[in-house]
Chain A
Amino acid sequence: MKTIFYFLVFPGFLFALIVGMVASYIERKVTARVQWRVGPPILQPWYDLLKLFTKESVVPENAHLLTFLATPVLFMVSATLVAMYAGMAFFFPDAAFQGDLIVIVYLLTIPPICLILAGAASANPLASLGASREIKLVLSYELVFWMTIAVIWVKTGGELSLVNIMNKPPVMYSYSGGIASVLALFVMQAKLGRVPFDIAEAETEIMAGAYIEYSGPLLGFFKMGQYILLATLPFFISSIFWGGVNVFKYVALLVIVILVENTNPRLKVKQCLKLFWFILFPLSLVALILAVVGL
């Protein structure tokens, strides 16, 4: 019962959703300010969501209905699970379990998969293209992500628990940890699907990619999942690299995401792959070697 409370209300669904909506508001507002605009009102994410849930859902004729309906919900659920595990380690250290690090990282791959399946099930060429881009994006950043996690393991002596990692001195204050934490920022940007890594959504190229056929509540589930991820990922990165979370660290990470988003054009899939595999991966290898050496 307690677990279900964790899951649905506090650090899980409701909490993460609200934080995510605030974060999304901050994102849109700061973006607007950077672009000399006023930006939306504070309740805008809430209005968007509410509106989506009052609309009807249209499903393409040729789509596979069950997959089409289930993937958005699964997207949201898996994002919530991540939020819950990450949040529990911070708010209820006693209830957290050993080795949640790997579990969280693994769970983080589920939302992209739901997106891919959703795109594939839409029976739309542009959605398929979006799905194919998303999976390539996952392939690109996953390697670097694991490398940065490995740096943490080495620095903390094989620690698999978020609570223990947060209790140790922050990883980022070392050469290897510094490099790894910078790389993790790239990964976070990619995982959030923000510019320059918004290749899977690329509105001006493939309309909305995998989301193209989604409407109404189904799109609303995706939106909720995205808000939750937006709330969770900076939280997670901050807790493993910056030695815990507080409002300042969180907002700082959010601002980094927003600034990068607003000062870069979108990359191509190939360039993305090249960036992660041939530039960032060797860097992460250097970080790992440094970590093993003890720097």
Chain B
Amino acid sequence: MSTETGRESRRSGVLVDAMRWMENLSDTQYAYLLLIPVFVLLGVVALYPLLRTFELSLYATSLDLTGRSFVGIDNYVQLFTGGKNRFLPGGTTFIPSSLSLNALLNSALVVTIIFAVVSVAFETVIGLGQALILDQDFSGRKWVRAAIIIPWAVPIVIQGMVFFLMFNSNVGFATAPLADLGLLAPTNTLNDTASATFIIIVADIWKTSAFMALLILAGLQSIDRGLYDVAKVAGASKWQQFKLITFPLILPTIGVAVLFRSVQAMRVYGIIDTVSSCSVVPSLSCMVVATFNTREGTAAAIAFVTAAIIGVAVMGLIAWQGEDAI
């Protein structure tokens, strides 16, 4: 009625005009309008530096580190042909030099992929389990949730310290029992690629399962409980309810979680540096860090190749999960 319109006009005219203008945009225009803040922010803080870094990757640092020269994509070519391996820490190669176990574990690419696949797989399963538990109603749930979140709140340095000391040769108590099970090398554990990778994966699972759990829990909490009534009456057992209702409905959330965990996992660096070292577990990010101070061009090239590899992995993931993941 008239009262409504009267009230409207009391507000500042400019604001109303702006609002009206916004409301009248088509979906597409409106979408792009709302995306402006994101793109400004990402443009300034991400796109610009990335372009610069990309520029850097087209230059080679001279022998004495004083100057640089334009080499085009040579840095990239050398990375794949092995020409850059000599700058990588501790005999690491970028792509495996052969298919022997040793050569594979020496390859930054392979180690990164192994780490990502194994840790993300475990984290997803464990995170899902934790989320399912937290989704139940029980007294003290708040505290159990706190307990499960805690690892995520632990800084990587501390996470590294915790596991480093657990497997440290002076005081570590965890090496012996695990070595007895054949999971770890009994001596020089943290400098043994296989063992160190195992420990780092465990450490990563410990910390980031909470990430998965939190996200999946949020997905679980958004499900319409009424659907479970329908399913129950239709005769679904607990497992079938999970399989047919819960799982498909949290799949988008799991998809996001897996996507981002995979991306994060493929950039693993901190935990390696704190528990073991980049020459033992040579992840791609390690290679970037190892070369950044002296060989910026190479480092930049590795960074871009890493991003490209992650991009390929993500595409694979998306294709595997189905288009609607995006």
Do A and B come together as binding partners?
no
Point out residues on A near B: beta carbons under 8 Å: none
